[in-house]
Amino acid sequence: MQHPSLNIAIRAARSAGKLLIRYLDRVDLLKVESKSHNDFVSEIDRSAEAVIIQELRARYPDHAILAEESGAQGRGDWLWVIDPLDGTTNYLHGFPQFSVSIALLHKGRLECGVVYDPLREEMYTAARGQGAQLNDRRLRVASRPSLQGALIGTGFPFRNQRHIDAYLGMFKDMTMATAGLRRPGSAALDLAYVAAGRTDGFWEIGLAQWDCAAGALLVQEAGGTVTDLAGGKTYLETGNLVAGNLNVHQAMLELLRPHLNERLPA
């Protein structure tokens, strides 16, 4: 039996996705603002977020919300974490890699999550203890035993670049140890691809909760492992995340460990 909250999240993600597609060929007309260095928001981000919140509020008026553009709303044990457009810079350039990400937490524990790619009409869903699916097809992480031959996803720390030197060291070592790295620009989709076995692993520094909450649950429910850079469980707080199957994940941690220091929390 599907998690009841998952149906609501799917409906909200589809509604937001339709809006994103409708304006995709008119991005030059959108009002765009800079929130911080290399971090942009457009009126479509805000409109898509409003559509999602309206859907969730209609069914769960007492649940708290943490959304990228409108921030925290309400308090309680149940918390919806929303990114209405993960990959805004891609979207504004017409680069076809962006997604809608919605997750539900209960007392800090991930309960269900949705990552929706409206361009490809791919709906990635997961509920705790019930597995992960792509358009109703069961997902499993790749079975690769090591980093040799692995395809790894990543994302540059674009919001805060004080860790860029540590990251570039990680990037170099990972490049030399694997078949290649990919940086498509939507962390939520990157994690969904790990869950689907399209990539063997993923890591990034400085993510927000809304970037990775739903994707992390997808990986876990597809049989993978998600931790912070030290192998702990603080990735939603620190925004530093490593994901993959058990073997690849462990190999990634070992390769990344020499680049950690007191200025780069796990």
Query: Mean per-residue pLDDT for 238-251?
Result: 97
User: What gap in Å lies between CA 191 and CA 208, rounded to an integer?
Assistant: 14
User: What gap in Å lies between CA 71 and CA 52, rounded to an integer?
Assistant: 14
Query: Mean per-residue pLDDT for 55-64?
Result: 96
Cα atoms in the 13 Å half-sphere on the side-chain side of 92: 19
Which segment of 104-118, 149-163, 241-255 scores lowest on mean pLDDT? 149-163
Enter the pTM of the model.
Answer: 0.94
Residue 126: how many other CB atoms lie within 10 Å: 30
Tell me whether residue 68 is annotated as binding.
yes
Which residues lie below 8 Å from residue 249, measured CB to CB, with a gap of 6+?
201, 224, 225, 226, 227, 242, 243
Instruction: Report helix, strand or coil for 108.
Output: coil
Tell me whether residue 246 is annotated as binding.
no
* Residue 254, phi then psi, degrees to nearest 5: -65, -35
Tell me whether residue 83 is annotated as binding.
yes
22-to-44, 175, 215, 222, 243 alpha-carbon distances in Å: 10, 38, 25, 32, 33
Give the chain's mean pLDDT.
92
The domains of the chain, with CATH numbers, are 4-138 (3.30.540.10), 151-259 (3.40.190.80)
Q: Tens of pLDDT along 76-93? A: 999 999 999 999 889 988
User: What gap in Å lies between CA 11 and CA 218, rounded to an integer?
Assistant: 18
Q: Helix 246-256 and helix 164-177: axis angle, to 10°?
A: 130
* Residue 184, phi then psi, degrees to nearest 5: -75, -30
Tell me whether residue 86 is annotated as binding.
yes
Per-residue pLDDT at 45: 85
Which segment of 19-28, 184-193, 197-206, 209-218 scores lowest on mean pLDDT? 19-28
Query: Mean per-residue pLDDT for 15-44?
Result: 73
* Percentage of the chain modeled with pLDDT above 70: 91
User: What gap in Å lies between CA 176 and CA 171, rounded to an integer?
Assistant: 9
pLDDT band at residue 35 using 50, 70 and 90 as cut-offs: low
Query: Mean per-residue pLDDT for 27-51?
Result: 70
Query: Mean per-residue pLDDT for 227-243?
Result: 96
Per-residue pLDDT at 125: 98
